């Protein structure tokens, strides 16, 4: 744990307007709030589609943030990974109670960085893209353009299983944006996040049929947090939009009821 | 997460398990007692809970926030108080202040932040409000007997036995009141800054403000706007740093120099130059020349004082020689006729509930603690927040308490190693935590440089990492 952070103190992340979508249960049963963090190119809407309402129906206040430069949040063409992690910690700290953070794709890496700056009650890393050379090699067509400032390309075929009707998949794909070139660079460089503060339990969730995150990468991330991944075969990278979206969120909520 | 004690609440008691001087002692097992629910007490509770400890906190007031709750009868905060350190230095390192707040939040926002912190981490159920600690005494096995009663002394006293105690009672509430010849005959009003709450108290009056710490300077600025006259007495020259330098909060500029790893001397040189070319030479207003270099005392951060000196709305004067019936005589012979004197002469640390010897308190009232936090030979006692940093306090006291919680954990997991760490700390009992040569008055007893101090905390945390202990 690093306590001297002169760079962060000398150059604090600039504020940015953030979109936060929410769904809260009718009665507050004291369950911890969930904060969903979308991956690069995705906005809060991907969780608003199914998961927020579902979590609220099961008694969990649910929130999703759009990282700066995504969704309805303010434009941020120069954003860094640190700025994204700051966005997450800001929203988490604003919630009434200690939050559970659920990050997806590269948003899982952002979450991992945020966990070093906010003591989450628990965390879930969904189809985590932790970057580094492995990510680039597995997805050369996706990541090569990023090296030249073009931005990661996320074609629908890579994100969803074949079960999702083509129309829906195309509809989602047209709503995707892109992370800043700088953040993508930092993703490919793959700096290891500092260890989480407050020792939260961490669950890694993914699919062996994810075409962006390899099974080995999934296991590597899970191992780093001392566990094995929870797998949903047959699903695509975007678990929360796929046809069988209900299964992973139910498993996550079950796990939370037991552990947090 | 399991708590090492879940024995219900301390009020409901249960059977007494020991006796002290004929009184029952209720055993709280592995629970840690925290005295005070100001910022230091709150972060102590949060970090102890995080490491799995049960906590009971006693707070003499009926709400959290300590000094930052200006309705508390001992709060030194006045209506215009804003933080002097900018947000990155003022917030707990794991709980950021909102982006929507300004660089230097107001005291009401700081209170809001602390209330939110308490709710977010579910601390309030552990706090016994309206309850003051009147005695803390050692018990066998490095444990502590804590005597409490309702604030103001109604009702009986109760004794609970704890595994450890954190003293977080604050050190900015007991006024330091200088003695002056002739003071008792003076017909004007004399108050300490602790009694100053609002600028309305100054309106239309002839005010003498004594002391040029941050409080004195703030009050002088208020008097410049509200009072009929304002004299400002200081017994030495200081560096008055503006809140902004080079277009950014001044403390962020300073840490940019630290980030660049510039040595202290070079930083002092750059700061002197910058101040000289922007603020200029303050002796032209009649202020004394600083008798020390910048960064040798915690800075006085005030952009407005210079402005009002320049407008002639504040008249700088030297130290007070004596009081007369209707006037005040200054060193140098000048006589002025204020009708209100505000003593902004600072505060004393007071630990009225514990034997001073345990904290190594000397005749002048100064405790002797390793890292200003850990008393000698008492591994289960810590003082939180007894620091005068060159930045904000909250991050520092957060890390103090992370370290203390780990130290307590290590006592269980690796007792021999915990003793070694304790010994190492005690060997540095008199170490200074500033890079600069600190000025000698009691105002600087707890002076620390945030980077020097945090380096020591880092070392301590590394020693306390339990992975290290297993090896
Ligand atoms: C005008 C002013 C401005 C300041 N500005 C800044 C700033 O900008 N940045 C900064 O970092 N710091 C600032 N400070 C320093 C300030 O003291 C700290 O920020 C902080 O409030 C210290 O917290 P604490 O919890 O240690 O003490 P306090 O805030 O004093 O809290 C102590 C608590 O303990 C309780 N207590 C005391 N004795 C007992 C007892 N026997 N039993 C039960 N409860 C007890 C008290 O009621 C109180 O609630 C300022 C101080 C002053 C006077
Ligand atoms: N956020 C804010 O805006 C803010 C505002 C106020 C205070 N604070 C903080 O609160 C704490 C207390 O500050 P403070 O200003 O109340 O106290 P302080 O820093 O102790 O300053 C006391 C002042 O009174 C002088 N003094 C003390 N005894 C004296 C005597 N016998 N005769 C003449 N002068 C005497 C001191 O001079 P010497 O230097 O010679 O001892 C000094 O100038 C500090 O941590 C401060 O930073 C913050």
Is the CB of B88 less than 8 angstroms away from the CB of A1?
Answer: no
pLDDT tens-digit readout, B258-299: 999 999 999 999 999 988 888 888 898 989 999 888 888 888
Between β-strands B164-167 and B158-162, what pairing exists: parallel, antiparallel or unpaired? unpaired
| Residue B471 confidence (pLDDT) | 34
Task: Return the ligand number nearest the Cα of B292.
Answer: 2
- Percent of chain B having pLDDT more than 90? 81
pLDDT tens-digit readout, A33-74: 999 999 999 999 999 999 999 999 999 999 999 999 999 999
Q: How would residue B469 be classed by pLDDT, with cut points 50, 70 and 90?
A: very low
Q: Does residue B128 register a pLDDT over 90?
A: yes
| Mean pLDDT across B414-428 | 94
Contact B143, B161 (CB under 8 A): yes
Distance from CA of B232 to the nearest CA of A (A): 33
B170 CA distance to ligand 1 middle (Å):
4
Which residues of B fall within a CB distance of 8 Å from A94? 98
pLDDT tens-digit readout, A29-42: 999 999 999 999 99
DSSP state letter for A26: S
| Residue A142 confidence (pLDDT) | 56
Fold of A13-259: Rossmann fold (3.40.50)
Q: Which residues line ligand 2 (CB under 6 A)?
A: B 81-84, 172, 176, 178, 193, 210-216, 218, 234-236, 319, 344-347, 388, 441, 443
Take residue A227 and report the two structure tokens written for it. Answer: 């566990």
Query: What does the alpha-carbon distance between residue B81 and residue B75 come to, in Å, rounded to a whole number?
Result: 12
Helices (H), chain A: 6-10, 45-48, 51-57, 81-94, 106-115, 133-138, 140-147, 156-159, 166-174, 181-189, 215-224, 246-259
- Percent of chain B having pLDDT more than 70? 96
| Residue B6 confidence (pLDDT) | 37
Q: N- to C-terminal Cα distance for chain A?
A: 23
Q: Does residue A16 register a pLDDT over 90?
A: yes
DSSP state letter for B356: G
Query: What does the alpha-carbon distance between residue B438 and residue B445 come to, in Å, rounded to a whole number?
Result: 9
Is the CB of A90 less than 8 angstroms away from the CB of B95?
Answer: no
Q: Does residue B4 register a pLDDT over 70?
A: no
- Helix, strand or coil, per DSSP, at residue A260: coil
Q: Does residue A145 register a pLDDT over 70?
A: no
Query: Who among A3, A86, A118 is closest to B457 (CB)?
Result: A3
| Residue B296 confidence (pLDDT) | 83
DSSP state letter for A55: H
Q: Which residue has the tokens 């230097």?
A: B104
Q: How would residue B231 be classed by pLDDT, with cut points 50, 70 and 90?
A: very high
* Ligand 2 nearest atom to the CA of residue B81, by list position: 3
| Residue B466 confidence (pLDDT) | 64
Of the candidates A90, A84, A108, the residue with the CA atom closest to the CA atom of residue A36 = A108
| Residue A140 confidence (pLDDT) | 59
Q: Does residue B221 register a pLDDT over 80?
A: yes
Query: Who among A15, A93, A197 is closest to B100 (CB)?
Result: A15
Take residue B346 and report the two structure tokens written for it. Answer: 């600072």
* Ligand 1 nearest atom to the CA of residue B85, by list position: 8
| Residue B402 confidence (pLDDT) | 98
- The residue whose CA has the least distance to atom 30 of ligand 1 is B170
pLDDT tens-digit readout, B338-378: 999 999 999 999 999 999 999 999 999 999 999 999 999 99
| Residue B400 confidence (pLDDT) | 98
Q: Does residue A230 register a pLDDT over 90?
A: yes
Q: Which long-range contacts (CB under 8 A, 24 or more apart) does B124-128 make?
A: B124/B64, B126/B45, B126/B49, B126/B55, B126/B56, B126/B57, B127/B37, B127/B45, B127/B57, B127/B58, B127/B59, B127/B64, B128/B10, B128/B11, B128/B56, B128/B57, B128/B58, B128/B59
Closest chain A residue by Cα to residue B255: A10
Which residues of A fall within a CB distance of 8 Å from B461? 1, 3
pLDDT tens-digit readout, B23-63: 899 999 999 999 999 999 999 999 999 999 999 999 999 99
Q: Residue B45 to residues A165, B38, B49, B121: CA-CA distances in angstroms?
A: 52, 11, 6, 9
Q: What domains are defined for chain B?
A: 18-173+348-470 (3.50.50.60), 177-242+279-345 (3.50.50.60)
| Residue B316 confidence (pLDDT) | 96
Share the mean pLDDT of chain B: 93
Query: What does the alpha-carbon distance between residue B380 and residue B148 come to, in Å, rounded to a whole number?
Result: 19
pLDDT tens-digit readout, B167-193: 999 999 999 999 999 999 999 999 999
Contact A226, A200 (CB under 8 A): no
Which residues of B fall within a CB distance of 8 Å from A84? none
| Residue B468 confidence (pLDDT) | 47
pLDDT tens-digit readout, B101-118: 999 999 999 999 999 999
Domain ranges of chain A: 13-259
Closest chain A residue by Cα to residue B121: A98
Q: Does residue A122 register a pLDDT over 80?
A: yes
Helices (H) and strands (E) in chain B, counts: 11, 26
| Residue B7 confidence (pLDDT) | 42
Query: What does the alpha-carbon distance between residue B9 and residue B59 come to, in Å, rounded to a whole number?
Result: 15
Share the mean pLDDT of chain A: 92
Distance from CA of A95 to the nearest CA of B (A): 7
pTM metric for this prediction: 0.95
- Percent of chain A having pLDDT more than 70? 90
Closest chain B residue by Cα to residue A11: B252
Of the candidates A108, A64, A68, A116, the residue with the CA atom closest to the CA atom of residue A89 = A116
Q: How would residue B467 be classed by pLDDT, with cut points 50, 70 and 90?
A: low
Of the candidates B427, B307, B442, the residue with the CA atom closest to the CA atom of residue B364 = B442
Query: Who among A12, A94, A118 is closest to B94 (CB)?
Result: A118
Is the CB of B95 less than 8 angstroms away from the CB of A118?
Answer: yes
Query: What does the alpha-carbon distance between residue B23 and residue B301 come to, in Å, rounded to a whole number?
Result: 50
Q: Residue A78 to residues A14, A57, A83, A90, B239: CA-CA distances in angstroms?
A: 11, 38, 9, 19, 38
Determine the Cα angle at B430 with ends B429 and B436, to 5°: 135
């Amino acid at each position: 744990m690093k306590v001297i952070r002169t760079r962060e103190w000398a150059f604090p992340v600039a504020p940015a307007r953030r979109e936060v979508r929410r769904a809260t249960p009718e009665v507050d049963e004291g369950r911890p709030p969930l904060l969903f963090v979308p991956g690069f190119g995705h906005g809060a809407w991907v969780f608003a589609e199914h998961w927020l309402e579902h979590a609220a129906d099961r008694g969990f206040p649910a929130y999703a943030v759009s990282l700066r430069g995504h969704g309805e949040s303010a434009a941020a063409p120069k954003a860094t990974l640190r700025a994204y992690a700051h966005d997450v910690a800001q929203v988490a700290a604003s919630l009434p109670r200690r939050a559970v953070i659920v990050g997806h794709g590269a948003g899982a890496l952002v979450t991992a960085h945020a966990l070093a700056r906010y003591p989450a009650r628990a965390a879930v890393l969904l189809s985590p893209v932790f970057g580094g050379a492995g990510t680039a090699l597995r997805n050369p067509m996706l990541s090569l353009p990023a090296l030249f400032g073009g931005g990661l390309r996320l074609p629908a075929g890579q994100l969803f299983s074949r079960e999702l009707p083509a129309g829906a998949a195309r509809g989602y794909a047209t709503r995707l944006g892109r992370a800043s070139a700088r953040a993508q660079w930092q993703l490919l460089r793959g700096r290891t996040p500092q260890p989480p503060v407050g020792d939260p339990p961490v669950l890694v969730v993914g699919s062996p049929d994810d075409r962006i995150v390899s099974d080995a990468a999934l296991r590597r991330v899970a191992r780093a947090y001392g566990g094995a991944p929870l797998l949903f075969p047959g699903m695509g990278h975007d678990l929360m939009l796929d046809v069988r979206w209900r299964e992973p969120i139910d498993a996550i909520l079950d796990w939370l009821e037991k552990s947090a | 997460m399991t708590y090492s004690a879940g024995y219900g609440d301390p009020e409901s008691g249960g059977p007494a398990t020991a006796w002290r001087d004929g009184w029952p002692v209720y055993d709280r097992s592995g629970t840690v007692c925290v005295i005070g629910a100001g910022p230091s007490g709150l972060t102590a509770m949060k970090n102890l809970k995080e490491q799995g400890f049960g906590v009971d906190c006693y707070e003499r007031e009926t709400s959290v926030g300590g000094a930052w709750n200006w309705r508390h009868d001992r709060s030194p905060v006045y209506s215009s108080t804003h933080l002097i350190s900018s947000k990155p230095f003022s917030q707990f390192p794991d709980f950021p202040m909102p982006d929507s707040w300004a660089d230097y939040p107001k005291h009401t926002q700081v209170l809001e932040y602390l209330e939110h912190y308490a709710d977010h981490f579910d601390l309030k159920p552990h706090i016994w409000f309206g309850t003051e600690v009147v005695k803390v005494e050692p018990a066998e096995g490095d444990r502590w007997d804590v005597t409490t009663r309702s604030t103001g002394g109604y009702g009986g006293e109760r004794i609970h036995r704890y595994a450890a105690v954190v003293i977080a009672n604050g050190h900015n509430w007991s006024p330091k009141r200088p003695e002056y010849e002739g003071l008792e005959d003076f017909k004007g009003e004399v108050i300490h800054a602790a009694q100053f709450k609002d600028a309305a108290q100054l309106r239309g009056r002839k005010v003498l403000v004594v002391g040029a710490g941050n409080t004195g300077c703030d009050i002088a600025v208020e008097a410049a706007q509200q009072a009929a006259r304002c004299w400002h007495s200081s017994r030495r020259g200081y560096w008055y740093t503006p809140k902004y330098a080079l277009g950014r909060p001044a403390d962020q500029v300073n840490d940019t120099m630290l980030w660049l790893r510039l040595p202290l001397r070079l930083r002092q040189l750059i700061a002197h130059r910058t101040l000289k070319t922007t603020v200029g030479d303050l002796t032209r207003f009649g202020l004394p020349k600083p008798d020390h270099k910048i960064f040798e005392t915690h800075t006085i951060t005030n952009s407005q004082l210079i402005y009002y000196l320049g407008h002639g709305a504040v008249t700088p004067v030297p130290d007070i020689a004596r009081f007369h019936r209707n006037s005040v005589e200054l060193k140098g012979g000048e006589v002025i006729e204020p009708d209100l004197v505000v003593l902004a002469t600072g505060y004393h640390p007071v630990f009225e509930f514990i034997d001073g010897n345990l904290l190594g308190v000397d005749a002048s009232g100064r405790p002797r603690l390793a890292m200003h936090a850990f008393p000698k030979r008492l591994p289960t006692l810590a003082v939180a927040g007894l620091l005068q940093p060159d930045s904000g306090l909250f991050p520092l006291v957060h890390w103090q308490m992370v370290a203390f919680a780990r130290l307590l954990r290590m006592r269980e997991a690796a007792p021999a190693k915990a003793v070694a760490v304790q010994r190492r700390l005690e060997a540095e009992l008199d170490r200074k935590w500033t890079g600069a040569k600190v000025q000698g008055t009691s105002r600087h007893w707890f002076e620390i440089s945030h980077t020097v101090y945090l380096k020591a905390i880092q070392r301590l945390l590394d020693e306390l990492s339990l992975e290290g202990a297993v090896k």
